[in-house]
Structure 1
Amino acid sequence: MPWPAALTPVRMQRVAVVAPRAALRGTLIRLAEAGCVELDLPSADDPDAPGPGRPDGHGPPGPAARRLERLPAPAGAPAPAAVLSAEPPDLDALERQGRADLLAGEARLEEVLAAAVGRGAVTALAGWCPAADVAATAARLAPAGAALVPLPAPRGVEPPTQDRDTGAVHRSCAPLVRTYGTAPYADLDPSLPAGAAYAVMFGVMFGDAGHGALLLAAALLLRRGRPRRLARLRPLWPLVAGAGLVSVLAGAAYGEFFGPTGVLPVLWLDPLAEPVRLLAAAVGLGCALLLLAHVGGAVNRWREGGAARALYAVSGVAGGLLLLGLAVLAAGVLLRLPAALAWAGAATAAAGACLAAAGLSAASGGGPGGAAQTGLQLFEAVLRTAANTVSFARLAAFGLTHAALGAVVWHAAAAQARGGPAALPAAVLLLVLGNALALALELLVAGVQALRLEFHELFSRVFEAQGRPFRPWRLPGQRMEVTP
């Protein structure tokens, strides 16, 4: 699959499920088997939405839902998996038998039936289906006498978002985005770039070749489904492996292998000897990541509202120019570079501020109140840009903490070992336990801080709104049976 297509959600088609009233149940069962059509069902938050009791939305629960409510449920027990019968079951018999699974399936079926629109002997339900699955789903419904009819997308209604599954690496990175929210249908899917950024930020803070190697070994164990208690985390192994690899590379650059043991030479810098240089490098890395986030934000604003929105948005081109100009200006002043470079940075920042002000002014509606609002929002944008960039200094700060912990453990173990052969086992034990403690602590700290930077500094520029996930009509644990 070409990489641009891998960064976009699955294309959705508006559809209508049309079936004879007598065949609607069989049609819905076939749809549940296919599991690729999201039906427009009444929302629990909408009091005017149709309900299972009466079409005006104010009716009581349906017969199956009432019986399901009457069934005793053990405290803390999970909700029963919904199961559908091929034929309409005897609800009273299901209640007597305590078949919560079949009653739950019938209750969900009542919700769908209440949302169907009928005219004469024909009923219809609207929804969304992946465009690539329309033909196959229509063929599945045809034996029941039903049809899946493509419709034009209604104006102002955003389709649901279904991310593409492009392989194991994408599956390991997608939870980063899903934890933050659902990307709007018009936006790009940033799962792969987000995973790469997370691995880089984690590795810079977790820079120790020995600890990184242990993380790589843990990733390989996850891939094999070990330990079994963590088997549900198996899809995350590529992300864990990426974080471990960057940690090994950062540790090699710092000369850290279970602390400053001297096993590896310092290839770039010693964090404890050159903390200012490490802080500057972390801020520079953060600036580069923020610029990439602005590129993603500009593309998303273009897809959402056209070129003008991409140009004037604070999260788009305007904000990117402001960030770039401020970075060049700061570098020129602090590093005493030629004055022309500092002036170029100032001009770039001014151009970005003017574009952002124009976009904010248009959104404020003009007038004295709009001008004041624009000024405050522009000031906030400049302050936020500077604060977000400096916030990446935490990459160096926690990298220094990791190096300091390693140094403390190593020097304490070395001092213990100088007590003679009898003290050597105690020194080894101190080294192992100290590294285990540092490893556990830094795993937690680096993992949380990388996630915080991902969400607050990067995703806040990529996304301006939330989409809604694609939820097809599907019954988990479904099996077809007839209840006598």
Structure 2
Amino acid sequence: MPRAEPAVPVRMRRVAVVAPEKALRESLVRIAEAGCVEIDLVGDGGPEVRRPAATRLRRLRTEPAQPVLSEAPPDLDALEREGRTDLLAGEAQLEERLAGAVRHGEAAALAGWCPKREMGATAARIAGVGGALVVLRAPRGVDPPTLLTGAVTAPPAHPARTVRRSFTPLVSTYGTVPYADLDPTLPAGIVYAVMFGVMFGDAGHGLLLVALALLLRAGRPRRLAALRPLWPFVAGAGLAATLAGVAYGEFFGPTGVLPVLWLAPLEEPMLLLAAAVVLGAVLLAVAYAAGIVNRWRESGPASALYATTGVAGATLYLGLAAAAGCVWLGRSAFAAVGAVIAVVGLALAGAGLYATTAGGPGGAVQTGVQLLDAMVRIGSNVVSFARLAAFGLTHAALGAIVWDGTRGLAGRGPAGVAAALLVFLAGNALAFSLEALVAGVQALRLEYYELFSRLFEGEGRPFRPWRLPVEHIPGPAAGAGLPAAGETPVGETARLGPAREDCS
């Protein structure tokens, strides 16, 4: 049974690539081939005289091809004559990193970051040419770069990470998760699918999405082959929509194919609205809990206690929710308990906000405005989840219109049957495309503005490992006769070492 994935970004280590000066180039070539180390770039890369490949590349005045590294030091003049912009571009990147090396005697070193789990394999890779990977103490006040677990290419036999990887764009589109924070990829994907399903609740339409996901998995159509890694994301949304459709009794509209297991949206809209708001309230509570953990991991217990996205904000939210719930249920006497809890939250949040101001009357006014804004936001955020019900009703209404039109035409002879079939197909195609777009956008909005705004207070820096393909080409003594850019030297192209999975 595979080990459960951690709920945090991939653990990073500050490292130095150390090698004798004569072996530094070959060590860096192997680092680039492995693609698991982010190397610090220092300054402008050194004087122009130390950048001969970059100089030749600019002199060609052509768009560089995809950078490629040569295993052996190439003849730069021959590369320029043959127009090998791909190898020149790779050599220019290598020069940029070599220029930032710290040298002492015959040894040279470059600092960077490497995922902890890749250090052993990377160290073994460069040890063969005399290099070493040395662990350094992380610089004070500098956060490591972030690499989400789902961003790592996994073997096909690891379905859990395949699903997580398909959800990664949902988080990375919002921003880079700070290194200290929790990795929200998997729960964010599940929540998105649930919200999408509530708004797109139709078993027939949901099954169409599942079928589309299976086509993407098979690499069809070829024009959408780049979207193949997202097939679990599409399948999850389709499955959620199918289950919601079963609960609503909707199968390409209210066709009667499925019985209503929970409620019919158009017959009980208020119950659907209440359920949507309750679901939103639960999701907000979970977001506050994750926010408390993130504030603690970022800045310690004080930040977790006083932040409006920490304990203070969560207490204010729970107090207001309890007071509103008691009033709605007709238990006004218990609303006072919720009000007391909300006051405690206000006091904590006010103390935290006031500490960030310049103090005095101006600081007090600023704090008051921010507290009022926090309370208004809580109310508006909870009510905002009513759109789950609103768009669910819209989807059901469109399905009902199409089905009513289909039934009205079906009883008018053969021509009516043909017209009914056309209305049914065209109407469902329109409803499917329109509602899929609307539900997808609205679920994204709820995730970003209502939930992620409580999880994150800042943004991290993405992990950008140096990765280039490597070619064997003739060395300086045999510089003539090189193939043009994009061609493969017959019998001379090889990757260094066995194929491996990428780090990002």
Shift of 1:80: 1.9
Structure 2 equivalent of residue 263 of structure 1:
257
Q: How far does the alpha carbon of each residue in 1:213-243 deviate from its partner, in whole angstroms, 9 at most, with x for none? A: 1112222222222222222222212221221
Structure 2 equivalent of residue 163 of structure 1:
148
Indicate yes or no: 2:134 matched with 1:149: yes
Q: Is the 8 A contact 1:15 1:149 kept in 2?
A: yes
Indicate yes or no: 2:292 matched with 1:298: yes
Structure 2 equivalent of residue 184 of structure 1:
178
Judge which range, 186-195 or 340-349, deviates more. Answer: 340-349
Letter in 1 for 2:15: V
CA–CA distance in 2 between the matches of 1:174 and 1:86? 34
Q: Which residue, out of 235, 238, 246, partners 2:240?
A: 246
Shift of 1:53: 4.0
TM-score relative to the length of structure 1:
0.92
Structure 1 equivalent of residue 276 of structure 2:
282
Letter in 2 for 1:71: L
CA–CA distance in 2 between the matches of 1:60 and 1:359? 54
Q: Which residue, out of 77, 81, 90, partners 1:105?
A: 90
Structure 2 equivalent of residue 9 of structure 1:
9
Q: Is the 8 A contact 1:86 1:482 kept in 2?
A: no
Structure 2 equivalent of residue 30 of structure 1:
30
Letter in 1 for 2:30: R
Q: Is the 8 A contact 2:248 2:260 kept in 1?
A: yes
Q: Is the 8 A contact 1:84 1:481 kept in 2?
A: no
Cα 1:189–1:414 change in 2 (3 A) is: same
Shift of 1:39: 0.8
Structure 2 equivalent of residue 410 of structure 1:
403
CA–CA distance in 2 between the matches of 1:138 and 1:422? 75
Q: Is the 8 A contact 2:15 2:114 kept in 1?
A: yes
SS at match of 2:110: strand
Structure 2 equivalent of residue 130 of structure 1:
115
CA–CA distance in 2 between the matches of 1:283 and 1:155? 44
Structure 2 equivalent of residue 94 of structure 1:
79
TM-score relative to the length of structure 2:
0.89
Shift of 1:331: 2.1
Letter in 2 for 1:68: L
CA–CA distance in 1 between the matches of 2:62 and 2:419? 55
SS at match of 1:180: coil
Structure 1 equivalent of residue 487 of structure 2:
none
CA–CA distance in 2 between the matches of 1:480 and 1:388? 59
Shift of 1:347: 1.9
Structure 2 equivalent of residue 443 of structure 1:
436
Structure 2 equivalent of residue 468 of structure 1:
461
Q: Which residue, out of 473, 479, 503, partners 1:481?
A: 473
Indicate yes or no: 2:59 matched with 1:70: yes
Judge which range, 262-271 or 107-116, deviates more. Answer: 262-271
Indicate yes or no: 2:322 matched with 1:328: yes
Cα 1:60–1:434 change in 2 (3 A) is: farther
Cα 1:448–1:331 change in 2 (3 A) is: same
CA–CA distance in 1 between the matches of 2:142 and 2:415? 75
CA–CA distance in 2 between the matches of 1:178 and 1:310? 24
CA–CA distance in 2 between the matches of 1:443 and 1:60? 57
Instruction: Work out the number of aligned pairs and report it.
Output: 466
Q: Is the 8 A contact 2:192 2:447 kept in 1?
A: yes
Shift of 1:431: 0.3
**Displacement over 4 Å in runs of 4+:** none
Q: Is the 8 A contact 1:219 1:241 kept in 2?
A: yes
CA–CA distance in 1 between the matches of 2:210 and 2:50? 53
Q: Is the 8 A contact 1:213 1:244 kept in 2?
A: yes
**What is the percentage of aligned positions where both structures have the same residue?**
64
CA–CA distance in 2 between the matches of 1:259 and 1:404? 8
CA–CA distance in 2 between the matches of 1:139 and 1:61? 30
Q: Is the 8 A contact 2:102 2:110 kept in 1?
A: yes
CA–CA distance in 2 between the matches of 1:216 and 1:462? 30
CA–CA distance in 2 between the matches of 1:292 and 1:35? 36
SS at match of 1:126: strand
Q: Is the 8 A contact 2:70 2:470 kept in 1?
A: no
Structure 2 equivalent of residue 46 of structure 1:
none
Question: Gapped runs of 5+ residues in structure 1?
Answer: 43-48
CA–CA distance in 2 between the matches of 1:423 and 1:135? 72
SS at match of 2:346: helix
Q: How far does the alpha carbon of each residue in 1:358-378 deviate from its partner, in whole angstroms, 9 at most, with x for none? A: 111222243222212211111
SS at match of 2:264: coil
Q: How far does the alpha carbon of each residue in 1:133-167 deviate from its partner, in whole angstroms, 9 at most, with x for none? A: 22332222223222211111111010111222451
Question: Gapped runs of 5+ residues in structure 2?
Answer: 151-159, 480-504
Shift of 1:302: 0.9
CA RMSD of aligned residues (A): 1.8
Q: How far does the alpha carbon of each residue in 1:255-280 deviate from its partner, in whole angstroms, 9 at most, with x for none? A: 21111112222222222222222222
Shift of 1:420: 2.1
SS at match of 1:246: helix
Q: Is the 8 A contact 2:50 2:99 kept in 1?
A: no
Structure 1 equivalent of residue 499 of structure 2:
none
SS at match of 2:460: coil
Q: Is the 8 A contact 2:246 2:260 kept in 1?
A: yes
Cα 1:60–1:428 change in 2 (3 A) is: farther
Q: How far does the alpha carbon of each residue in 1:358-405 deviate from its partner, in whole angstroms, 9 at most, with x for none? A: 111222243222212211111111111111111111111111111111
CA–CA distance in 2 between the matches of 1:236 and 1:242? 10
Shift of 1:60: 8.1
Structure 2 equivalent of residue 382 of structure 1:
375
Q: Is the 8 A contact 2:196 2:241 kept in 1?
A: yes
Q: Which residue, out of 112, 124, 130, partners 1:139?
A: 124
CA–CA distance in 1 between the matches of 2:258 and 2:100? 67
Letter in 2 for 1:267: L
